[in-house]
Chains A and B, each alone.
Chain A
Amino acid sequence: MEELRNSVARKEVIAEELTKYGLFLYRALRLSFIGDKAFYTWMVILTVISMFGLRAYCNQLVGGLATTGMTDQVSWGIYIANFTFLVGMAAAAVMLVIPAYVYKDEEMHNIVIFGELLAVSVMIMCLLFVNVDLGRPGRFWHLTPVIGLFNFPVSMLSWDVVVLMGYLLINAHVCGYLLYMKYLGRKPNKWLYMPFVFLSIVWAISIHTVTAFLYVGLAGRPFWNAAIVAPRFIGSAFTAGPALMIIAFQIIRKVSGYHIGDRAFHLLRQIVTISLLISLFLFGCEVFKEFYSQSLHGSSARYLFFGLHGHNALVPWIWSAIIMELAATVILLRPMEKGKAGFGWLNLACILAVVGIWIEKGPGLIIPGFLPTPLGEIVEYVPSFNEVLVCIGIWAFGTLMFSWMLRLAIPILSGKFHKLEGE
């Protein structure tokens, strides 16, 4: 009898919780569409750009990957370049998670959720970039264990699928849980999120390391088959990620009025500075190894930096990247001015660092890995217009996702969006 009553009571509690959650989702949906003109303009612009990207992708579905600039010689292009760069951006959320949760830094605690939401939106972009690169995207289900045939643990690509999906789920869980508890006005249960926070710290390093190992594992590609690729990935990710956050958080602060203290920016600035210095050091190590010995294995690097046998498509890009990164270093090493000027310089440095690193570890890593080909051929890769449109569409869609998540998260965190009394 007692047992029966308990189970009935339990069922009632579950039903009640589900109703609350349903109501939350309904309100969140409504909130997503509430906003002033600026909000609507911003969201509509992003939607329209995303749809141009979708249209370009439909063109690709009809014409096949022949609509891209890729060839048998350079068989991965700007899609995989963007993917590689973005995995780093997602991993960089850990640079907020460590100070916020491990060192219990109050200032960082206010913004850590934004970092995690950024990681979630960037992960979605990563998955889209992988998917648009597939010759037969409909067969994505072959990667599902049991019904498909997942070549785990042999294939590094299968590892990448595991860690990327895992990272997406961990971050979505932590943000979703904390935001929902705040909406309910309940104190979050440590055991339901702290283990995942610590897991996410290890996991963040792993997503970028595994992504590096995708390339490092290929003995036939000397440019990638180097132990330094993974450390360089981590260094550049912890530069570009926090640099983008510095810019994004200033915008959030300005647009929403949500409190983000200057100290948070100073901390992020230090992270960017140190990571950039480490990045440049590792970069220098690689340049030395590639050039000093004058071995034939340095051909890809020679193609990248100086051009090879009259082919030099990447040369202006990589030198621009180097100049941008050096300029960012000089700006960041100077003491920061007080007030607006300080932030102006900081933003400039951050933009230079992000763009420089995008070039260096996107196209600057992927394309020279293929050239010269294992049979010594050089075929320049230039992305097609359609391919570029798909990329722009995915970037717009990622930004749309992030803006939407912020639309919900900011009112929740500032206590404006919460359940009603007595619910």
Chain B
Amino acid sequence: MSDLNHENNSTTGDTSSGPDSDDSRKVFQPLTRRSFIKAGTLGAFFAGGSGLAMLPLHRFKSDTSFSEYFQQQYERLTPEKMERVLTRIEKSVKDSYGVDATVKDPKPLPGVQYAYALNIGRCVGCRRCVHACVEENNQSRDPEIQYIRVLDMPKGTLDVERSGHYYEPEKVPQEGKYYMPVQCQQCENPACVKACPVRATWKDKDGIVVIDYNWCIGCRYCEAACPYWARRFNFATPRIPKDKINKDMAYLGNRIRPRGTMEKCTFCLGRVRKGLLPKCVEACPTGARQFGNLLDPKSVIRHILREKRVYVLKEEVGTRPKFYYWFDK
């Protein structure tokens, strides 16, 4: 592109520093009235131009306060600072959405490693999990962001390229199909965490991969790194009808995200750290979705790992998911 422009210029002939005209000596002469007029003209041209160029900014609505802009990364916040941050977020939710929300920062429970198991033979592809997830986690509705993608797969293949993402038949399940839901696999060795240049995302003590939405710069390198296409980016400011907002919010979980940041499934950490099940598990009508603590030998997860035929997705990429697919013997 630029070389072509250069070409055009070459036809315009000699310029100032050409062999015959040596006006670089002019810099040693005192400034004249003419120089000031010239400087004024150029200054006016430049100021006017930049003014016009930056005109769109009058529509810019900042959702960021001074203290939010300089807020430190999550792991560096003292409990007192965190308290102030949570209050500030509650206030900003009130200001922007007119809703009285409570924002908490639930910590990982000791002695817990969460894991998920999905019975691939039981899933009927009804997508109730998808919609329950959106309602729980305050995702933008327009455009709608979903954490769970259910693939409708023709029998006889594991090739996702042959799957359907936007199937809408009258009735599910359909003959000749099976259904494979995919969401964040909460990897033991998460590629997204390695990718992040600012440590805005990390694996918490209970194994959940979380994001500090305030610290994320929006480079989307994690989104490129994820082998499961589990991460979503807020290209626009999230839009949620007031009556659809879940007022029970968690800082690293389902609070409403700012524009320009990443988000993803957190196993509903605001719920599971209180001892509840993730919303998708609750919503599943067939019992295909199971959830529990890997460190508890009596948990349903350990039972499945012990007794069922279990596999993980894309084992070859070395991410070691804690999201297991299984089928009955």
Q: Which residues of A contact B (CB under 8 A)?
A: 27, 30-31, 33-36, 38-39, 41-42, 44, 46-48, 51-52, 54-55, 58-59, 61-66, 68, 70-73, 75-76, 130, 133-140, 142-143, 148-151, 154-158, 161, 214, 217-221, 244, 247-248, 250-251, 254-257, 296, 299, 308-309, 350-351, 354, 369-370, 372-377, 392, 395-396, 398-399, 407, 410-411, 414, 416-417, 420
Contacts of B199 in A (CB 8 A): 149, 151
Q: Given A75-B223, A138-B64, 20 other A-B contacts at CB below 8 A?
A: A35-B17, A52-B53, A54-B50, A58-B54, A64-B260, A135-B259, A135-B262, A139-B216, A143-B198, A149-B215, A217-B195, A218-B225, A219-B191, A220-B228, A251-B9, A255-B15, A257-B18, A354-B3, A369-B224, A416-B22
Q: Do the beta carbons of A30 and B191 come within 8 Å of each other? A: no
Whether B56 lies near A255 (C-beta < 8 A) is: no
Using Cβ atoms and an 8 Å threshold, which residues of chain B touch A257?
A: 14, 17-19
CB-based contact B221/A410 at 8 Å: no
User: How many Å lie between the Cα of A321 and that of B302 in the bound state?
Assistant: 55
Q: Which 8 A-B pairs have the closest CB atoms?
A: A135-B218, A220-B227, A135-B260, A376-B160, A257-B19, A35-B16, A66-B236, A157-B197
Partner of A36, one of B15, B160, B161: B15
Alpha-carbon distance between A150 and B55 when the two chains are bound, in angstroms: 34
Inter-subunit contact A75/B49 (CB<8 Å): no
A323 to B14, CA, bound (A): 36
Closest residue of chain A to B220, judged by CB?
Answer: A75
Q: Which A residues are CB-close (under 8 A) to B23?
A: 34-35
- How big is the B interface, by class? 35 or more
- Known: A33-B38, A135-B259, A248-B3. Contact between A155 and B194, CB under 8 A? yes
Q: Is the CB of B26 within 8 A of A34?
A: yes
Q: Are B27 and A417 in contact (CB under 8 A)?
A: yes
Confirm or deny: B196 has a beta carbon within 8 angstroms of a beta carbon on chain A.
yes
Q: B42-56 toward A: CB 8 Å interface, digit per residue (1/0)?
A: 100110011011111
A62 to B2, CA, bound (A): 28
B102 in contact (CB, < 8 A): no
B85 located at the interface, meaning its Cβ lies under 8 Å from any Cβ of chain A in the complex: no
Evaluate contact between B57 and A62: CB separation under 8 angstroms.
Answer: yes
Contact with A along B148-177 (1 / 0, CB 8 A): 010100000001111101000000000000
Q: Does B137 contact A (CB under 8 A)?
A: no
**Distance to closest chain A CB from B46 (angstroms):** 7
Contact A47-B46, Cβ < 8 Å, known A33-B38, A416-B25: yes
A392 shortest CB reach to chain B, Å:
7
CA distance A64 to B197 in the complex (A): 21
Assess whether B56 is in contact with A55, with CB atoms less than 8 Å apart: yes
User: Which residues does chain A contribute within 8 Å of B191, judged by CB atoms?
Assistant: 218-220
- What is the bound-complex CA distance between A156 and B15, given in angstroms? 45
Chain B 207-244 residues near chain A, CB threshold 8 A: 215-221, 223-229, 231-237
CB distance from A38 to the nearest CB of B (A): 4
Picked from A47, A244, A256, the residue with its CB within 8 Å of the CB of B18 is A256
Given A135-B217, A374-B226, residue A33 in contact with residue B42 (CB < 8 A): yes
Of all chain B residues, which has the CB nearest A161? B197
Question: Assuming A135-B259, A142-B198, A155-B197, is B223 touching A72 (CB within 8 A)?
Answer: yes
Report B-chain residues with C-beta under 8 Å of the C-beta of A250: 10
Residues of B contacting A51 in the complex (Cβ-Cβ under 8 angstroms)? 49-50, 52-53
Secondary structure dominating the interface of A: helix
Residue in chain B with minimal CB distance to A419: B28
**Interface of B toward A, CB cutoff 8 Å:** 1-7, 9-10, 12-19, 21-28, 38-39, 42, 45-46, 49-50, 52-57, 59-60, 64, 69, 73, 76, 149, 151, 159-163, 165, 182, 191, 194-200, 215-221, 223-229, 231-237, 258-262, 314, 317-319
A248 to B7, CA, bound (A): 8
Q: Is the CB of B9 within 8 A of A42?
A: yes
Nearest A residue to B4 via CB reads A351
Q: Can you sample 27 A-B contacts with CB below 8 Å?
A: A31-B24, A34-B26, A46-B5, A47-B49, A51-B52, A51-B53, A61-B56, A62-B57, A64-B260, A65-B218, A73-B229, A134-B219, A135-B260, A135-B261, A138-B69, A140-B217, A156-B195, A157-B195, A220-B225, A220-B228, A251-B6, A251-B10, A375-B149, A375-B151, A375-B160, A377-B165, A416-B22
Contacts of B229 in A (CB 8 A): 72-73, 373-375, 377
Check if B2 sits within 8 Å of A399, measured CB to CB: yes
Residues of the B chain whose Cβ atoms lie less than 8 Å from the Cβ of A72:
223, 229, 231-233
Please measure, in the bound complex, the distance between the C-alpha atom of A134 and the C-alpha atom of B36, giving whole angstroms: 40
Is B221 within 8 A of A34, CB to CB?
Answer: no
Q: Report A296 CB to chain B, min CB distance, Å.
A: 6
Q: Which residue of A lies closest to B73 (CB)?
A: A149
Which residues of chain B come closer than 8 Å to A27, judged between CB atoms? 27-28
B236 proximity list for chain A (CB < 8 A) = 63-64, 66
Contact A135 B195 (CB under 8 A): no
Closest chain A CB from B222 CB (angstroms): 10
**CB pair B53 A375 closer than 8 Å:** no
Cβ–Cβ < 8 Å partners of A158 in chain B: 197
**A-chain residues with CB within 8 Å of residue B53 when the two chains form the complex:** 51-52, 54-55, 58
A350 to B3, CA, bound (A): 10
CB of B16 within 8 A of CB of A75, answer no
A417 to B25, CA, bound (A): 7
Check A256–B160 contact: CB distance below 8 A: no
Could you tell me if B224 and A221 are in contact, using CB atoms closer than 8 angstroms?
A: yes
* Cβ–Cβ contact A135 & B3, under 8 A: no
Q: How far is the CA of A350 from the CA of B285 in the complex (A)?
A: 64
Question: Are A220 and B54 CB-contacts (below 8 A) given A64-B236, A155-B221?
Answer: no
B6 touches A416 (CB 8 A): no
- Pairwise interchain contact A39-B15, C-beta atoms closer than 8 A: yes
Nearest CB in chain B to that of A247: its residue:
B3
Whole-angstrom CA separation of A218 from B314 in the bound complex: 13
- Chain A residues with CB under 8 A of B198: 142-143, 148-151
B27 touches A76 (CB 8 A): no
Q: What CA separation (Å) do A395 and B3 show in the bound complex? A: 10
Q: Is the CB of A64 within 8 A of B217?
A: no
A76-B220, A351-B3, A399-B2 given; A142·B215 CB < 8 A: yes
- A210 to B54: give the CA distance in the assembly, Å: 35
Q: Which residues of A contact B226 (CB under 8 A)?
A: 220, 374
Highest count of chain A CB atoms <10 Å: which of B1, B24, B229, B233: B24
Chain B contacts for A161, CB-based, 8 A: 197
CB pair A255–B10 under 8 Å, yes or no, is yes
A53 to B260, CA, bound (A): 20
